[in-house]
């Protein structure tokens, strides 16, 4: 059982939680995630560790309300308990001094991108961040990102904040303008697919963090499998980050829909 | 060994045993028919995932079956048991009506008799070596049923004897994983006075006993009672804790842990790497069984979804395959099929599971191997393509190797495929202990006598050492490791 210490509303459907987890706060690295469960018959869902405070013994999670389990979490308040929380899971991001980093975040994917941006900056890189959301209301962590970025470009679908357009448009502009040594893209699978296509064209090495369906998160079930460079990999232990140019995104998009009808039913029931 | 033989002999000559032995002539014992296990009718039991198929023996049946045992001078049955349970002793205690004593005898050797009585492949172990099967060509004494009977009797009597534990010695040791190997290790170490913590990555204690083996074979309540006993004895359980991640071995040493037992199992499911294997509707048996047994996905109050299939093919011939295929039937499949690349005789599953599966209407398609899966318009598996096989020359394991019959290929309509072709050791722990010696299969290498690894304070056992094996072997390893870790720590104290 882990206690929620603080809760913030970042947008209509996105919440930030500060959660007591002293061991995880100490051992987590950028790129790691946790799996949590709300309630006796709760589902195990993965969430990225966005930040941690080793002194207070807390970690930060940011969650978007998309379905039954995320909504159960979003309904919890400060002082309440998370039934089960385990981590840190997954491989940590390979952080090094590359030169110029282009960080692309879409929607709630901005949350997992945040610790990576921070780490690359701290490692002495020039970091250019492109944040994208459907509208101003759904854009999160803009100020926090500015703290660790040399430049932040905001793109919204409707132009209500920053510029009107897609994340790839902002990214292409930067790539055309200056030499980018490495790109990191995190967001909905479809966004990562198009980011990968773009950076492949310009031959910029690119990492993506895949948000596949998971059950245990420890390599036991294979629900999270993806095809990378023609081989089957388990996102939870071989990833979640992979070389974007080798990921079979179409297969991944298909696999994300595996439980679509069951999820829709569950949402309507509750 | 001779000490052991001597002890068995002495026990055999205790007056009550002699008297009991002489009370019924041997030929009368031999004339008794082996008891039949009471079972729930197939059509009834497939309505529920939790209805246990075997009902257990009544006291009358147990007395009757115990009488068959000859209390042999040379009890070969014991040789067949990986933990050398004193079988004639507990069986004769049942015959004498001292059921609680029989349970106590079992506990001296096995930490989980109610579990082993249910899931041991007896026909390949103790019962294979029984005098009846070896010398008389008759059905062996039903040792497994009797073991289950004694353990259940004790549990249901409410008179569970909590073994005595030594005074705490203040030395902290850790078990990693909470499967049968760790549980038996923990039981022995707590008795010896150590401060024992069991770390488990999942949110439930029990390893495969909880997430793998379904309730229709092994009810969770049976496992829970054993866990409660361990807790009562003082074992500390930490769930949601991945050793190597949540904390490293060094962190744990800093917290005062002096030695470790790794019982992290062989959890990684194997796939065949054939086209279409990543389609929706194709999954590992671990995923399917975990969703049902750990997450209760088949129940309406669970948040975890499950894919139901009308036509289900399960690839494999082991216990895992049987559990998956029988689960699919219980979740409403119209057609549930086992596809196995060798013949019936080579199937590694327990005999009883194969029999039960057949009674429940499971179809067996032997000598076939999938080569490709094909999707429907929505991207879910709709057809499986199989290659017909025949048996060729024996391979290294002595089993005849399946070889493809050129050109003999056929398709079957399916909407769920479950891959149960074995597991590999979980690489997480080896990856975070660079000094640890690992075999080329990824298992941890240990001294077979002591279960000690290449790092002196680290011991290991169960599936992480053997690859996929059995509950009783895992338990035996845990016990062996406890005994030698105790010696190791005592030596260290002296220095
Ligand atoms: C390594 C990893 C890190 C993640 N980090 C975060 C995070 O920091 N913050 C956050 O909000 N989410 C994160 N996710 C996604 C999050 O786990 C899912 O949104 C959540 O499991 C959905 O559960 P649900 O029951 O609420 O929704 P469901 O009812 O299961 O699904 C609702 C809708 O979301 C889709 N969906 C289901 N699972 C996923 C998924 N894994 N990714 C994308 N869409 C999905 C479904 O197809 C459906 O349309 C992460 C996922 C992974 C694998
Ligand atoms: C479906 C199925 C049916 C079976 N049927 C039978 C049967 O009928 N009879 C029989 O004898 N055998 C059967 N077996 C095999 C038997 O269950 C195993 O051999 C036995 O459980 C192995 O025990 P173990 O102690 O090695 O570990 P496991 O039971 O595999 O448990 C290992 C545990 O360690 C945890 N873990 C792993 N890494 C870490 C870590 N780093 N930190 C913390 N925890 C960790 C895992 O989450 C898991 O819970 C079956 C197996 C399966 C899968
Ligand atoms: S533990 Fe298994 S092998 Fe040993 S006596 Fe019991 S059933 Fe037989
Ligand atoms: S071998 Fe069979 S008959 Fe003989 S003691 Fe063992 S169980 Fe009894
Ligand atoms: S989530 Fe089960 S193996 Fe990755």
Task: Give yes or no for residue B88 CB within 6 A of ligand 4.
Answer: yes
The answer on B466 and B404 residing in a single domain is: no
Nearest-angstrom CA–CA distance, A46 and A87: 10
DSSP three-state, residue B169: coil
Q: Give the residue-averaged pLDDT of A19-33.
A: 95
Among candidate residues B422, B450, B466, the one where a domain is terminated: B422
Query: Would you say residue B60 lies in a domain?
Result: yes
In a domain, B167, yes or no: no
Q: What is the pLDDT of residues A118-156, one digit of tens each?
A: 999 999 999 999 999 998 888 999 999 999 999 999 999
Interface test with A, best of B201, B240, B423 (most A CBs within 10 A): B240
Q: Is B390 in the same domain as B479?
A: no
For chain A, state the CA radius of gyration. 18
Q: Please tell me whether residues B431 and B409 are part of one structural domain.
A: no
User: Is there an atom of ligand 1 within 6 Å of A240 CB?
Assistant: yes
B366 and B488 share a domain? no
Domain ranges, residue B69:
5-157
Would you state the pLDDT for residue A265? Answer: 73
What is the atom index within ligand 3 of the atom nearest the CA of B144?
Answer: 7
Is the domain of B121 the same as that of B181? Answer: no
Q: Which of B362, B394, B422 is the last residue of a domain?
A: B422
Q: How confident is the prediction along chain B (495 residues), in pLDDT tens digits per residue?
A: 567 888 899 999 999 999 999 999 989 999 999 999 999 989 989 998 999 999 999 999 999 999 999 999 999 999 999 888 999 999 999 999 999 999 999 988 888 899 999 999 999 999 999 999 988 899 999 999 999 999 999 999 988 878 888 999 999 999 999 999 999 999 999 999 999 999 999 999 999 999 999 999 999 999 999 899 899 999 999 999 999 999 999 999 999 999 999 999 988 999 999 999 999 999 999 999 999 999 999 988 989 999 999 999 999 999 999 999 999 999 999 999 999 999 888 899 998 999 999 999 999 999 999 999 999 998 899 999 999 999 988 888 777 889 999 999 999 999 999 999 999 998 888 888 888 999 988 899 999 999 999 999 999 999 999 998 899 999 999 999 999 999 999 998 887
How many interface pairs between A and B have CB atoms less than 8 angstroms apart? 117
| CA-proximal residue: ligand 2, atom 11 (nearest) | B470
Together in a domain, B181 and B141:
no
What is the C-alpha separation between A47 and A177, in angstroms, rounded? Answer: 34
DSSP, residue by residue, B451-471:
-B-SSTTEEE-THHHHSS--H
CB-based contact B202 A216, cutoff 8 Å:
yes
B162 located within any domain: no
* Domain assignment present for B133: yes
- Number of domains forming the structure of chain B: 3
Instruction: Give A38's pLDDT tier (boundaries 50, 70, 90).
Output: very high
- Determine contact, residues A133/A147, Cβ cutoff 8 Å: no
Whether B71 is in a domain gets the answer yes
Residues in chain B: 495
> Which helix (H) or strand (E) element contains residue B68?
helix B59-68
Of the three residues B374, B403, B422, the one that is the final residue of a domain is B422
A144 close to A226: Cβ distance less than 8 angstroms? no
Region at A16 (left for phi over 0; alpha for psi -120 to 50; beta for the rest): beta
pLDDT of residue A161: 86
In a domain, B166, yes or no: no
The reply to whether residue B295 touches residue A43, judged by beta carbons under 8 angstroms, is yes
Residue B111 lies in a domain: yes
Same domain? For B246 and B349 the reply is no
Q: Is A64 in the pocket of ligand 1 (CB under 6 A)?
A: yes
A159: enclosing H helix or E strand:
none
Q: Which residues of A touch B238 (CB under 8 A)?
A: none
Between B59-68 and B87-95, two packed helices, what is the crossing angle to 10 degrees? 130
Domain with B137 in it: what CATH number?
Answer: 1.10.1060.10
Q: What is the mean pLDDT of residues A68-74?
A: 92
Q: What is the ipTM of this complex?
A: 0.93
Look at residue B493 in the predicted model and tell me its pLDDT: 83
Tell me the C-alpha to C-alpha distance, in Å, between residue B86 and each of A49, B147, B199.
53, 11, 32
Tell whether ligand 5 has an atom less than 6 A from the beta carbon of residue A220. yes
Q: What is the CATH number of the domain that holds B387?
A: 3.50.50.60
B418/B277 same-domain check: yes
Q: Which residue has the tokens 């039934």?
A: A83
One domain for residues B379 and B235: no
Output the pLDDT for position A269.
59
Q: What percentage of chain A exceeds 90 in pLDDT? A: 83
**From start to end of B331-442, where are the E strands?**
335-340, 363-366, 368-375, 381-394, 400-413, 416-419, 423-424
- Same domain, residue pair B402 and B283: yes
Q: Are residues B369 and B479 in the same domain?
A: no
Does residue B310 lie within any of the structural domains? Answer: yes
Same domain assignment for residues B185 and B283: no
Query: Any bridge partners for residue A208, and if so which?
Result: A185, A242
């Amino acid at each position: 059982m882990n206690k929620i210490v603080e809760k913030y509303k970042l947008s209509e459907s996105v919440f930030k939680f500060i959660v007591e987890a002293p061991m995880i706060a100490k051992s987590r690295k950028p790129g790691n995630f946790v799996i949590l469960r709300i309630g006796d018959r709760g589902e195990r869902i993965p969430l990225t560790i966005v930040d941690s405070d080793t002194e207070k013994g807390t970690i930060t999670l940011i969650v978007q309300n998309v379905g039954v389990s995320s909504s159960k979490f979003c309904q919890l308040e400060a002082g309440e308990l998370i039934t089960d929380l385990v981590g840190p899971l997954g491989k940590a991001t390979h952080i090094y001094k590359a030169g110029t980093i282009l960080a692309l975040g879409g929607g709630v994917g901005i949350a997992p991108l945040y610790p990576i941006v921070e780490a690359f900056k701290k490692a002495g890189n020039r970091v250019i961040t492109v944040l994208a959301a459907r509208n101003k209301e759904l854009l999160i962590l803009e100020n926090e990102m500015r703290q660790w970025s040399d430049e932040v470009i905001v793109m919204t679908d409707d132009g209500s904040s920053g510029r009107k357009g897609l994340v790839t448009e902002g990214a292409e502009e930067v790539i055309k303008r200056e030499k980018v040594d490495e790109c990191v893209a995190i967001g909905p699978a479809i966004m990562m697919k198009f980011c990968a296509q773009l950076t492949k064209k310009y031959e910029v090495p690119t990492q993506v963090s895949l948000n596949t369906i998971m059950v245990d998160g420890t390599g036991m079930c294979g629900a999270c499998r993806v095809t990378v460079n023609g081989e089957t990999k388990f996102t939870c232990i071989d990833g979640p980050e992979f070389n974007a140019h080798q990921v079979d995104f179409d297969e991944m998009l298909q696999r994300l829909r595996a439980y679509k009808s069951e999820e829709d039913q569950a949402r309507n029931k509750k | 060994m001779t000490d052991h033989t001597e002890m068995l002999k002495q026990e055999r000559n205790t007056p009550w045993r002699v008297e009991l032995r002489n009370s019924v002539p041997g030929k009368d014992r031999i004339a008794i028919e082996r008891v039949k296990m009471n079972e729930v009718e197939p059509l009834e039991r497939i309505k529920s995932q939790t209805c246990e198929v075997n009902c257990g023996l009544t006291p009358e049946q147990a007395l009757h079956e115990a009488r068959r045992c000859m209390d042999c001078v040379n009890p070969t049955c014991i040789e067949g048991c990986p933990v050398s349970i004193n079988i004639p002793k507990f069986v004769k205690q049942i015959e004498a009506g001292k059921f609680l004593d029989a349970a106590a005898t079992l506990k001296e050797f096995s930490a989980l008799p109610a579990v082993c009585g249910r899931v041991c492949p007896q026909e390949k172990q103790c019962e294979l070596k029984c005098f009846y099967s070896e010398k008389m060509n008759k059905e062996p004494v039903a040792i497994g049923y009797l073991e289950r009977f004694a353990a259940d009797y004790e549990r249901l009597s409410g008179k569970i004897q909590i073994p005595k534990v030594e005074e705490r010695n203040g030395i902290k040791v850790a078990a990693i994983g909470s499967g049968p190997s760790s549980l038996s290790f923990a039981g022995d170490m707590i008795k010896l006075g150590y401060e024992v913590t069991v770390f488990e990555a999942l949110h439930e204690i029990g390893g495969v006993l909880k997430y793998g083996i379904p309730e229709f074979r092994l009810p969770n309540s049976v496992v829970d009672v054993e866990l409660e006993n361990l807790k009562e004895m003082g074992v500390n359980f930490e769930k949601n804790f991945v050793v190597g991640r949540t904390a490293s071995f060094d962190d744990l040493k800093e917290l005062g842990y002096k030695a470790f037992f790794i019982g992290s199992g062989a959890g990684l499911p194997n796939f065949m790497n054939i086209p279409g294997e990543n389609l929706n509707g194709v999954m590992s048996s671990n995923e399917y069984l975990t969703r049902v047994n750990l997450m209760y996905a088949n129940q309406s109050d669970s948040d975890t979804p499950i894919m139901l299939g009308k036509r289900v093919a399960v690839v494999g011939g082991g216990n895992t395959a049987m559990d998956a295929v029988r689960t699919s039937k219980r979740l409403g499949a119209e057609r549930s099929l086992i596809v196995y690349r060798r013949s019936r005789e080579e199937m590694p599953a327990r005999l009883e599971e194969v029999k039960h599966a057949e009674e429940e209407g499971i179809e067996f398609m032997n000598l076939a191997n999938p080569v490709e899966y094909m999707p429907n318009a929505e991207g879910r598996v709709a057809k499986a393509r199989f290659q017909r096989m025949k048996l060729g020359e024996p391979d290294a394991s002595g089993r005849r190797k399946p070889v493809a019959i050129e050109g003999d290929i056929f398709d079957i309509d399916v909407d769920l495929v479950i891959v149960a072709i074995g597991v590999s050791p979980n690489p997480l722990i080896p990856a975070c202990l660079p000094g640890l010696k690992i075999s080329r299969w990824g298992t941890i290498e240990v001294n077979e006598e002591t279960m000690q690894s290449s790092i002196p304070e680290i011991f290991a056992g169960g599936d992480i050492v053997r690859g996929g094996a059995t509950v009783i072997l895992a338990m035996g390893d845990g016990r062996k490791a406890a005994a030698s870790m105790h010696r190791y720590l005592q030596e260290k104290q002296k220095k």
